[in-house]
A and B are shown apart, each in its own frame.
Chain A
Amino acid sequence: MKNILLGIAILLIFPVSMAQEIPIKGDQLFGNLKARHIGPAVMSGRITDIDLHPTKDNIIYAGAAGGGVWKSTDSGTFFNSIFDEHAQSIGCVAVDPVDPDNIVWVGTGETWVRNSVSVGDGIYKTTDGGTNWKKMGFENSERISGIKINPNNNQEIYVGVLGALWSDSEERGVYKTTDGGETWNKILYINETTGVADIAMDPTNPNILYASMWQVRRSPWSFNSGGEHSALYKTTDGGKNWNKIHNGFPNGKLGRIALAIAPSQPETVYVVLETEEAKSNGLYRSDDGGNSWEHLNNNFELVVRPFYFSRITVDPKNPDVLVKAGLYGAISRDGGKTFKNLGNMHPDIHDIAFHINNSEIMYVGTDGGVYRSWNGGSTLEIVENIPVSQYYHVSVDDAEPYNVYGGLQDNGSWYGPSAAPGGVKAKHWNSVGYGDGFRVLKHPTKNIIYSEMQGAANVWRYDVDRNQTKTIQPMAEKGDPKLRFNWNPPMALSNFYPDRFYMGSQFLHRSDDMGDTWTKISPDLTTNDPKKQDQSSSGGLSIDNSGAETHTTIFTIAESPLDENIIWVGTDDGNVQITQDGGKTWTNTVANIPDLPKNTWCYKIYASNFHKGTAYAVFEGHATGDMNPYAYKTSDFGKTWKSIITDDIIGFARSIHEDYENENLLFLGTEFGLFVTVDGGQNWSRFTNNMPAASVMYIALHKKTSDLVLATHGRGIIIIDDISPLREITPEILDKEVHFFSSKPFVMKEDSGFAENFGTETQFIGQNPSSNARIVYYLNKRHTFGKMELEVQDMEGNKIATLNAGKSKGLNIVDWSFTSKGPKIAEAKTLSFGGFATPRVPAGTYNVVMIKGKETFTHTIEVVYDPNTIVTPQGREERQKMVEILFDMNEELAYQVYKVNTTIQHAETLLAEDPKSKKVSEAVINELNTLLKSMVITTGDNYVASAEPELREKLADLYSGVVNNYDKPTGAQMANYESVKALYDEIMDRYESIQKKEVSKYESYLSKNNKESLSFQTKEEFLK
């Protein structure tokens, strides 16, 4: 009730304030079918950059690796996403120093270029604090490392573009605009392999800038940081001339260079170098604006993984206090001579920002979200509401509600419920694996979970009930070469044998005993190209052989749901292999795939649910610089393949799922979101309803609920509940004015547990699905003019409930809570909360009736009782009987109270105008007022000053008690009923006798004196 009233207030303050073409697409098709987010935020995800408002200390912006931009206006207590519609991989965020309330720049494309890094698509500007964004160029920049705005003239901006990671590109270097971003000039460019890693502007002289140039390249099998072109440059004339400033640097090649100016003493500049020799790596300081450098420190935190941690932040008030990002992050308070680690928080620190006024307060961006320190980095607390978890994979089980399983970048493996009392909270998530997590699978019949870490260094079989794990990864046997497992190693369950479990190295391994023993059922299915197998020297100047670049591996395994002997395997080096005899023989079909560049990574094969020979294969070549989407379908075991990609698709594709019932309904996940086709790939629609442009790495479809469950790499798990209406969409339906979609019988759940919220005030809480009847219809036009009503009727045409009709063009989803109207409650001095209880309808069929203008559309639905309940049919019957009795008694009382009040008012009016009536009118007034006091509460308030309950309150409370139980009324309730009924009868008798005596005399008086007689609405009118 309170919420509604509040809603009214807000509202009021404001507004007065197939062969055939699918004719509509996107938002016009999906209407108000919306995604819901369940996070989790318990481990948050990688934060790449933090920027603060320069004068308002409560405003913070945080950019995420795959989760967009988040803004806090309360010093980091809450963050909200403000960049949903655009590329979610963020390189940098820059608040305009001249108009910081309104203008913010975002450079997309993360610059902490790990193997799994995503891509950006340019630079964006908002002029209203983040509500609306406009792209301002650099479409092909892939990643932006820095944006520096002249504090005296915000039309003059410098942008550092790191550029393409996996290919040559000329769109990199330092760019400058003098017209607020309308036009850009490239003012520092080295070559097509070298971009800007870091850029800094002297806060006191915006013509002085430093830029560190980084020669870098990734391939699917290697990483190379550094080269002769990496260098540090300085300009003192706004970018007209740049000079290399290496006086004091070691000779030879350099790698990534971190860079920071001390804001309080701009001649002091710090850099962190990656060099050819370990001893010369680390921190260098200049106190003469870069003319000369002194090497100060090469502690672990200063030199660790330069490609991931090259960030230095200097205290804005003290040039000798600086923090270096790193595995743990480290702070120096002596100008860089010595460092100590920051306090305990999630490892892998990428950015640190000092509070604008108080340097004790720090904000830190890590692989596990944003942390705050109130004491100079000694202790830290996590922000609990940034759900930017980076899933690699998702699977579901058949529990009710079903659980969602998956692994995350640097944040282990987890499972949690798709719904929970009060929403999915941090406490509902369970850890089931260390390290980087990838695929997590629930055993089909036992309470056992398989999970893994990077490169299958561990594959765990976790017995949930016993809390015991066993590591079960396949290992090289005598005569085997070294097994090559992908960083994200494939595992798969069998559709036929619950204990069967597949894993892929370069071989396909099969276990029939849950991983205790393994059999290789294939030869090396990859290209086995030795040029792609030497990772020992990967990394460039700093060796970085983490296993992240292991290549020529199997990446996807798909056993046909129709035939256990048909197994598909896709490899990261572009093979698509099929066996039709359970692994005895294999055929590589990739040569049959048209227009697919050689060796393009096969990211996903999906074996069709409908035909043995049908499968879908998704490829992506982003790690060779090919950003095109590739998805193909074969219907003949791979002899021929046909592309199902159209121009509708944005971003390279990684995942695909076929519907279980309609083979033309397909879901495709790309780097920039989810795409849906209802005609087998001839037309695709981007799904954007509460769905950010996040990378959809993997898709699961829950068989029973038809929920589409998306593993996003940066926005956690996103669910679209019950996509079954999409199965029915045809051009014919889209031609109709109104179409109701069919539905399975709706189950009236009888859950009534407790949802506690203690300590969750600042947590992200995942949204629950609706447990109501979900009525879905299509409108061919948004309903704007004239009346439109939607109601539920019983089969005799009696109105049961009024629904809030959806009026969108496209799909409309309307909830019905299975309840009919509540009883009309007697008027009194206070509110009877029991009167708000609305009774559930009995199981059966009902009509949903839409009255739209002059037309009426009817759709029949069925509702059934919860099969998983403790309630017996007899119990339900008894309850129903009692509900009806009490409902009627409440309404009868309301009517009688109405009559009493009307009579009293009548008598009072008469008394005032006709003193002669005193005898009869006072008798009525006194008797009825006394009666009324026993009927309803006539004093007190709605809280602790409430009066003792009278008949109305006793009756309504008993009624709501019976309504809110699903089972038969308790013995106590029945005994209470007898007591309330006795009181009810007594009061009604008293009223009758007053009517016979005092009221009757009063009426005679009226009649004799030609006064207006007493008149009442009929009960039917009253209850209307």
Chain B
Amino acid sequence: MKTFKLLFLVCFITFNMPIVAQTADEIINTYFENTGGVENWAALNGVKMNASVNQGVDIPVEIYQLKDGRQAVIVNFQGQEITQFAFDGETMWGTNFMTMQAEKSDSEMTENFKKQSLDFPSALFNYKDKGYTVELMENETIDGAETFKIKLTQKPIMVDGKELPNISYHYFDTDSFALIQSEAEIQQGPMTGQKSISKMSDYQEVDGLYFPFDMGMGGQSIKIISIDLNPEVEDNVFAFPEE
């Protein structure tokens, strides 16, 4: 892991800062340019993040995301390897906490996940090619910072047998164009219609690309310890373990 460089900040401030009113495309493009360049993001084949969640005790978490859509989040704790979820392109599954056995996710969730399998490194990346649309909304103050608010509409998802729009909001700091918050609408349960909010901060450079090293949700941080770019990952990390 490389440490954050002052140069990075200078780049943010001096490059790609059109003063006139922004379009959603300009904002998204500037974000990817400022965080390493569109081409470099396009060339990235995957990441493995070593992270930690502090719950009184530090819980180590490994996060895998590959360009082909395969993903996994694995928690290692007290000698137990718990796959929070994994997706091999077809099957989504996770470890049942009670039995410690792998169980497949319901088909609806899997299908919804499959629809997002082209979302590496971000749903916003090449969003047009994926058939998504964006809309620039009115600026909002997030964490005290003035932000551009972009609405992203992805392909509809199915929730409890009903097709629902898949809409999320992304907030970019107007000074630096850094993405500092994303929100998705909660689609089921008593909180339906409210937002699940993710906050991004502590951007740091990894081989030319900049990642948020702190992702917060409901006051709980996921701290990234290190990121491996283009990692070699065994297939069995993602594959549902057959009995």
Q: A783-B202, A785-B4 are in contact. Are A836 and B84 (CB under 8 A)?
A: no
Q: Mark B190-216, 1 if CB is under 8 A from A, else 0.
A: 111110101111111000000001111
A827-B79, A836-B55 known; A808 vs B193 contact (CB < 8 Å):
no
Stretch of B15-23, B24-32, B69-77, B234-242 on the interface side: B69-77
Of residues 792 through 815 on chain A, the ones whose CB sits less than 8 Å from some CB of chain B are: 801-802, 804-805, 807-810, 815
Closest residue of chain A to B190 (Cβ to Cβ) is A78
The CA of A71 and the CA of B193, in the complex, are separated in Å by: 8
Once the chains are docked, how many angstroms separate the CA of A73 from the CA of B121? 33
Asked if residues B57 and A821 are in contact (CB atoms below 8 Å), the reply is yes
In the complex, which residues of chain A have a beta carbon less than 8 angstroms from the beta carbon of B65?
Answer: 16
Which listed residue, A17, A802, A945, touches B116 by the CB 8 Å rule? A17
In the bound complex, residues from chain A placing their C-beta under 8 Å from that of B85 are 9, 12
Q: Tell me whether A12 and B56 are in contact (CB under 8 A).
A: no
Q: Counting CB contacts under 8 A, is A278 at the interface?
A: no
* Residue of A11, A822, A942 touching B198 (CB-CB under 8 A): A11
Contact of A943 among B77, B78, B99 (CB under 8 A): B99
B78–A826 contact, CB under 8 A? Answer: yes
**A130 / chain B contacts, CB cutoff of 8 Å:** 193
Within 8 Å CB of A2, what residues of B?
97
Q: Within 8 Å CB of B82, what residues of A?
A: 5
Q: Let me know if A27 and B144 touch, CB within 8 A.
A: yes
- Which residue of chain B lies nearest to A10 when distances are taken between CB atoms in the complex? B196
Q: How far is the CA of A31 from the CA of B191 in the complex (A)?
A: 24
Complex interface: chain B residues within 8 A of A787 (CB): 3-4, 202, 204, 213
Nearest-CB distance from A224 to chain B (Å)? 41
List the B side residues contacting A16 at CB < 8 Å. Answer: 65, 71, 119-123
**B80 interface hit (Cβ, 8 Å):** yes
| CB–CB B141/A822 < 8 A | no
A131 to B3: give the CA distance in the assembly, Å: 39
Determine if A114 is an interface residue (Cβ-Cβ < 8 Å).
Answer: no
| Majority SS at the chain B contact face | strand
User: Which residue of A is nearest B218, CB measured?
Assistant: A7
User: What residues of A have a CB within 8 angstroms of the CB of B233 in the complex?
Assistant: none
Report A94 CB to chain B, min CB distance, Å.
19
Q: Is B42 an interface residue (CB 8 A)?
A: no
B63 within 8 A of A: yes
Complex interface residues of chain B between 120 and 145 (CB less than 8 A to chain A): 120-123, 137, 141-145
Nearest-neighbor residue (CB-CB) of A853 within chain B: B4
User: Distance in Å from the Cβ of B124 to the closest Cβ of chain A?
Assistant: 9
With a cutoff of 8 Å between Cβ atoms, the chain B residues found around residue A12 in the complex are 63, 71, 73, 85
Given A16-B65, A785-B176, A787-B213, answer yes or no on A28-B141 (Cβ-Cβ < 8 Å): yes
Complex partner residue of B220 from A13, A28, A786, A804, CB under 8 angstroms: A804
B-facing residues in A298-338 (Cβ within 8 Å): none
Find chain B residues with CB under 8 A from A128 CB.
Answer: 151, 165, 167
Known: A788-B201, A815-B219, A835-B78. Contact between A4 and B59, CB under 8 A?
Answer: yes
Contacts of A82 in B (CB 8 A): 193
- Cβ of A15 under 8 Å from chain B: yes
Please tell me if B98 contacts chain A, counting CB pairs below 8 Å: yes
In contact, B143 and A807 (Cβ under 8 angstroms) = yes
Q: Are A782 and B145 in contact (CB under 8 A)?
A: yes
Whether B222 is near chain A, meaning CB under 8 Å from some CB there, is yes
CB <8 Å contact, A828 and B4: no
Residue of B nearest to A688 (CB): B141
Asked if A974 lies at the interface with its beta carbon under 8 angstroms from chain B, I say no
**A819 contacts chain B at the CB level, 8 A cutoff:** yes
| A17 contacts B122, C-beta separation under 8 Å | yes
For B57, give its contact among A26, A788, A836 (CB under 8 Å). Answer: A836
B102 contacts the other chain (CB 8 A): no
| Inter-chain contacts of A28 with B (CB < 8 A) | 141, 144
Within 8 A of B (CB), among A96-119: 101
Residue in B59, B98, B203 whose CB lies within 8 Å of A786: B203
* Residues in B neighbouring A14, C-beta threshold 8 A: 168, 182, 184, 196, 198
Q: Is the CB of A807 within 8 A of B219?
A: no
Interfacial chain B residues near A821, Cβ < 8 Å: 56-58
CB pair B192 A80 closer than 8 Å? yes
- Which residues of the other chain, B, contact A8 by a CB distance below 8 angstroms? 53, 61, 73, 75, 84, 222
Within 8 A of B (CB), among A822-843: 822-832, 835-836, 838
Q: Is the CB of B204 within 8 A of A786?
A: yes
A933–B221 alpha-carbon span in the complex (Å): 36
Residues A11 and B143 in contact in the complex (CB < 8 Å), given A785-B8, A941-B100: no
Report if A32 contacts B (CB, 8 A): yes
Q: Does residue A585 face the partner (Cβ distance < 8 Å to B)?
A: no
Interface residues of B in 139-174 (CB under 8 A from A): 141-145, 151, 165, 167-168, 173
A27 & B59 in contact (Cβ 8 Å cutoff): no
Closest chain B residue to A782, Cβ basis: B145
**Taking A783-B201, A809-B145 as contacts, is the C-beta distance between A945 and B80 under 8 angstroms?**
no
The docked-state distance in angstroms from the alpha carbon of A822 to that of B57 is 5
Taking a contact as CB atoms closer than 8 A, the residue among B75, B80, B192, B220 that contacts A830 in the complex is B80
Closest Cβ of chain A to B31, distance in Å, is: 12
Closest A residue to B75 by CB, please name it. Answer: A5
Complex: how many Å from CA A830 to CA B79? 8
Which residues on B sit within 8 Å (CB–CB) of A943? Answer: 98-99
List A contacts of B192 (CB < 8 A): 73-74, 78, 80
Q: Do the beta carbons of A26 and B141 come within 8 Å of each other?
A: yes
Would A831 and B144 be within 8 Å (CB), given that A78-B192, A784-B180 are in contact?
no
Closest partner residue, chain A, to B170 (CB atom)? A15
Complex Cα–Cα for A780 and B54 (A) = 26
Choose among B113, B123, B144, B220 the residue that contacts A7 (Cβ–Cβ < 8 A): B220
Q: Which residue of B lies closest to A29 (CB)?
A: B144
Does B93 touch A at the CB level, under 8 Å? no
Is there contact, CB below 8 Å, between A828 and B193? no
Given contacts A17-B119, A785-B8, A830-B80, are A80 and B194 in contact (CB under 8 A)? yes
Residues of B within 8 A of A825 (CB): 78
Query: How far, in Å, is A890 (CB) from chain B's closest CB?
Result: 11
- The CA of A15 and the CA of B122, in the complex, are separated in Å by 7
How far apart are the CA atoms of A12 and B198 in the complex, in Å? 9
Is A870 among interface residues, defined by CB-CB distance under 8 A? no
Binary B-proximity of A747-760 (CB < 8 A = 1, otherwise 0): 00000000000000
CB of A205 within 8 Å of the partner chain: no
The answer to whether B193 and A942 touch across the interface, beta carbons within 8 angstroms, is no
A825 vs B100: C-alpha distance when bound (angstroms):
18
- Which residues from chain A contact B173 at a C-beta distance below 8 Å? 782, 784
Asked if B203 contacts A785 (CB within 8 A), the reply is yes
A13 and B78 within 8 A (CB): no
Contact indicator B71/A810 (Cβ below 8 Å): no
Binary interface encoding of chain A residues 848-869 relative to chain B, with 1 for a CB under 8 A from any of its CBs, else 0: 0000010000000000000000
Chain A's closest residue to B95 (CB) is A5
B227, CB-defined interface residue at 8 Å: no
A399 on interface, CB distance cutoff 8 Å = no
**A476 on the B face (CB < 8 A):** no
Give Cα A320 to B43, complex, Å. Answer: 69
- Known contacts A10-B196, A16-B119, A785-B9; is A942 also within 8 Å of B98 by CB? yes
Q: Specify which chain A residues have a CB less than 8 angstroms from the CB of B84 in the assembled complex.
A: 5, 8-9
Within the complex, the shortest CB–CB distance from A627 to chain B, in Å, comes to 25
Report the separation of the CA atoms of residues A2 and B9 in the bound assembly, to the nearest whole angstrom: 38
Task: Tell me if A785 and B215 are in contact (CB < 8 A).
Answer: no
Are the C-beta atoms of B215 and A784 separated by less than 8 Å? Answer: no
From 124 to 172 in chain A, residues with beta carbon under 8 angstroms from any chain B beta carbon are: 128-132
Q: Please name 8 pairs of A and B residues whose Cβ atoms are closer than 8 Å in the assembled complex, sorted by A.
A: A4-B220, A13-B116, A15-B200, A782-B143, A785-B12, A810-B144, A836-B57, A942-B99
Residues of A within 8 A of B (CB): 1-2, 4-5, 7-17, 24, 26-29, 31-32, 71, 73-74, 77-78, 80, 82, 101, 128-132, 385, 762, 779, 781-788, 801-802, 804-805, 807-810, 815, 817, 819, 821-832, 835-836, 838, 853, 941-943, 945
5 extra interface residue pairs, beta carbon distance < 8 Å, beyond A29-B144, A826-B79, A942-B100 = A16-B119, A80-B192, A762-B190, A805-B214, A838-B56
Closest A-B pairs by Cβ, 4 of them:
A827-B79, A809-B144, A838-B56, A808-B143
